[in-house]
């Protein structure tokens, strides 16, 4: 599941950043109208690098879309301002995604990339009835007040000068819902509850409460093996349901909001 998650997150980041790198590398089709072949002239260097996996002691996940982006993170990690941010969100679920620069490889093997790196730092945490939440059965959550909180920072790195040049913080996002049995709410880049237990044979429904599209993609692991599930995209006020007939674990994420840590886990008990 992790590899699938990484690949999808990398693809999203590549297409977001691709235009900038193309302009700075002089590889735009307008500049080479006679000989430009988008799939022949250049290729994307996008081998995802997992830098840190989450543990029980430190729920921090760090990855980079390529080696150059990994270098950008290494520069950012040494910055005092970034260290202060990481200290302030200790104990939350942290996702750190080095999403720029995108690297392009020419036919002669030359790697081209911009001199600017971008690191997205996201902290997610949830509360139920005002107390920190880390997981419970759907039946015990029914009717209780749930909150999902998220803070995001964008760190820009100058690769040539080997330093952080800016840190931009977004306004904290808060999602509030009255929780219900076997329902997961999708908000602005977060699921609520993000971890829950359901009984074998339950039909669980994901409801999109935000103004943007989401999906539910992941691996349902049981004694019988692994099953890939993909909801497809569903819009605001739409939903997707699945019946879980075996004991197991369903780890999932939203493919277009992976770098913001939009992921969840559903544990199916007999």
What is the per-residue pLDDT for 105? 79
- pLDDT, one tens digit per residue, over 69-89 is 999 999 999 999 999 999 999
pLDDT (0 to 100) of residue 155: 98
pLDDT number for residue 64: 95
* Cβ proximity of 267 and 198 under 8 Å: yes
pLDDT band with cut points at 50, 70 and 90 for residue 32:
very low
What pLDDT is stored for residue 5 in this prediction? 43
* pLDDT tens by residue, 183-203: 999 998 999 999 999 999 999
Confidence of residue 46 (pLDDT cuts 50, 70, 90): low
Span 41-45, average pLDDT: 47
Residue-level pLDDT at 10: 47
Confidence at residue 29, expressed as pLDDT on a 0 to 100 scale: 33
Whole-number percent of the chain with pLDDT over 90 = 72
* Confidence (pLDDT) at 106: 78
pLDDT of residue 16: 41
Please state, rounded to an integer, the average pLDDT across all residues of the chain.
85
Assess whether pLDDT exceeds 70 at residue 165.
Answer: yes
Question: Once rounded to an integer, what is the mean pLDDT over residues 153-160?
Answer: 97
Distance, CA of 15 to chain centre: 15
In our burial notation (b when 16+ CB lie closer than 10 A, e otherwise), range 160-196 reads eeeebeebeeeeebebebebbbbbbbbbbbbbbbbbb
Domains observed in the chain: 2-269 (2.60.40.420)
Number of other residues whose CB lies within 10 A of the CB of residue 5: 21
What's the rounded Cα separation, in Å, for the pair 132 and 121?
Answer: 21
* Between 25 and 164, the higher pLDDT residue: 164
CA distance 203 to 215: 17
Per-residue pLDDT reduced to its tens digit, 120-155: 999 999 999 999 999 999 999 999 999 999 999 999
């Amino acid at each position: 599941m992790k590899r699938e998650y990484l690949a999808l997150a990398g693809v999203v980041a590549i297409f977001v950043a691709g235009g900038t790198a193309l302009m700075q590398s002089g590889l735009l089709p307008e500049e080479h109208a006679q000989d430009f072949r988008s799939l022949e002239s250049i290729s994307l260097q996008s081998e995802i690098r997992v830098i840190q996996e989450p543990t029980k002691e430190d729920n921090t996940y760090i990855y980079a879309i390529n080696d150059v982006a990994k270098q950008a993170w290494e520069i950012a990690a040494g910055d005092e301002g970034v260290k202060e941010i990481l200290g302030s969100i200790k104990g939350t679920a942290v996702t750190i995604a080095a999403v720029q620069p995108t690297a392009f490889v020419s036919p002669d093997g030359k790697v081209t990339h911009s001199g600017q790196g971008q690191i997205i730092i996201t902290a997610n945490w949830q509360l139920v009835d005002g107390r920190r939440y880390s997981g419970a059965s759907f039946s015990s959550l029914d009717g209780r007040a749930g909150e999902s909180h998220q803070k995001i920072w964008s760190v820009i790195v100058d690769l040539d000068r080997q330093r952080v040049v800016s840190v931009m913080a977004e306004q904290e996002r808060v999602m509030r819902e009255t929780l219900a049995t076997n329902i997961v709410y999708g908000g602005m880049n977060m699921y609520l509850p993000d971890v829950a237990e359901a009984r074998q044979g339950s039909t669980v429904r994901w409801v999109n409460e935000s103004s943007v599209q989401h999906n539910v993609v992941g691996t349902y692991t049981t004694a019988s093996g692994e099953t890939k599930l993909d909801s497809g995209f569903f819009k605001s006020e739409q939903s997707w349901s699945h019946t879980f007939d075996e004991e197991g674990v369903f780890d999932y994420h939203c493919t277009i909001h992976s770098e913001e840590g939009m992921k969840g886990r559903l544990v199916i008990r007999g």
